[in-house]
Amino acid sequence: MKKRICILLLIAVLLLVPHVASANAPIPWYIEISCENVEAGTQIEVVFQREDGTTRTQIAEATTGTIGMGYESDETSFYLVCTAPDGTETRTASVQLVSWGCYRYDGATNTLSANGTYYPRGSNCADGVLTAVLIVLAFVLPLGLTLLFEFLVSLCFGIRPKKYVLIINLITNPVMNLLLLLLAMILGPEQWVYWTVLAVLELAVVGLEFLFYTKKCREIPRVRLLIFTVVANLLSFLIGICVINLLF
C-alpha cells in the first residue's frame, strides 16, 4: 500500500513541476555592472540579446558606481549603448550573460568586460544576515529536496534499509554542492563551465552512491540498485533545478 502511494505521489510531482515552471517563466536573474570614467549626464542603455536575435532594452537608473540589473533566462548576452550629454552615442561589444555576473564598464575606453561571478555581501547587519540565510538555503534546500525525493524513490524500488539512502545523501549532496561552488569560482563564471562541472560531479555521485548501495544492500540485485540510483538522482536533480529557479 505504501509503495503504491509513493508511486502516485511521484507521478503527481512529475506532472505538476513542468506546469509550475512554465507558468513562472521566464526566470529572472541578476547582474552588476561597475561603471568607471563615465561623463556626468550620460545615459546608459543595457541591451539584452536573445538566441533568436531579438533584443530588450533597459535604461540604467544610474551612470556612476554600480548598476544592478535583472535579466531573463532566455537572454544570453548584452551590450551597452551610452549617449553622452552632447548626443554622441557609443556602443560596446557584446559579452555573455552569467547568473550573478559582475561586469566592468570603462567609459574612457568604451570597454565592457566580465570580472567573474558576483556574490552579494551585506553592507550592514540586516543585509549580512540575509546573505547568510541565502547561502545556507543554497545548501540546505537542495539537500532537503534530495533527501525527500530519493527517499520516496527508494520506497518505490524497495530499497532496504532506508537509513542508507539518507546517510549517503547526507554526505554526497553537501560535498558536491561545495565542490561545485569552489570549482565554478576557480574555473570561471561561464555557464558552460558550470554545467560541465555539474554534469561531472553528478556522474561521480551516481557512481559513488551505486558502489555504496552494492556494499550495504547485498540482497538487492545490482541492476535494480543501478536503476534506482540513476532514477533517484535524476529526479531529485530535475525537481531541485525547477524549485530553485522558481525561488531565486
Distance of CA 217 to the CA centre of its chain: 33
Q: Are 190 and 141 in contact (CB under 8 A)?
A: no
Higher pLDDT, 99 or 114: 114
Mean pLDDT of the chain: 79
**Helix pair 163-187, 191-216: axis angle to 10 deg:** 160
Q: Are 217 and 231 in contact (CB under 8 A)?
A: no
pLDDT at 91: 96
Higher pLDDT, 128 or 90: 90
Q: Is the dihedral of CA 132, 138, 139, 140 positive or negative?
A: positive
Pairing of strands 28-36, 101-106: parallel
Q: Residue 22 pLDDT more than 80?
A: no
Q: Which residue has the cell 529526479?
A: 235
Cα(first)–Cα(last) distance of the chain, in Å? 37
pLDDT at 10: 52
Assign 146 a pLDDT band (cuts: 50, 70, 90): confident
Q: Which residue has the cell 555573455?
A: 96
| Residue 147 neighbours by CB under 8 Å, 6+ apart | 166, 169, 170, 173
Give this prediction's pTM: 0.51
pLDDT at 6: 53
C-alpha cell belonging to residue 218: 547485498
The dihedral formed by the CA atoms of 227, 163, 141 and 132, expressed in degrees to the nearest 10: -140
> Mean pLDDT: which of 4-8, 14-18, 89-93 is highest?
89-93
Rounded distance between C-alpha atoms, residue 77 and residue 146, angstroms: 32
Sequence-ordered alpha helix ranges (H) in the chain = 2-23, 125-157, 163-187, 191-216, 222-247
Lowest average pLDDT, out of 60-74, 76-90, 163-177, 201-215, goes to: 60-74
DSSP state of 187: H
pLDDT at 237: 82
Distance of CA 195 to the CA centre of its chain: 9
Q: Residue 56 pLDDT more than 90?
A: yes
What does the angle CA 219 – CA 154 – CA 157 come to, to the nearest 5 degrees?
65
pLDDT at 174: 87
Assign 134 a pLDDT band (cuts: 50, 70, 90): low
Q: What would the pLDDT profile of 93-105 be if each residue is shown by its tens digit?
A: 999 988 778 899 9
C-alpha cell belonging to residue 157: 524500488
Rounded distance between C-alpha atoms, residue 73 and residue 58, angstroms: 15
Structural domains present in the chain: 29-117 (2.60.40.1110), 123-247 (no CATH)
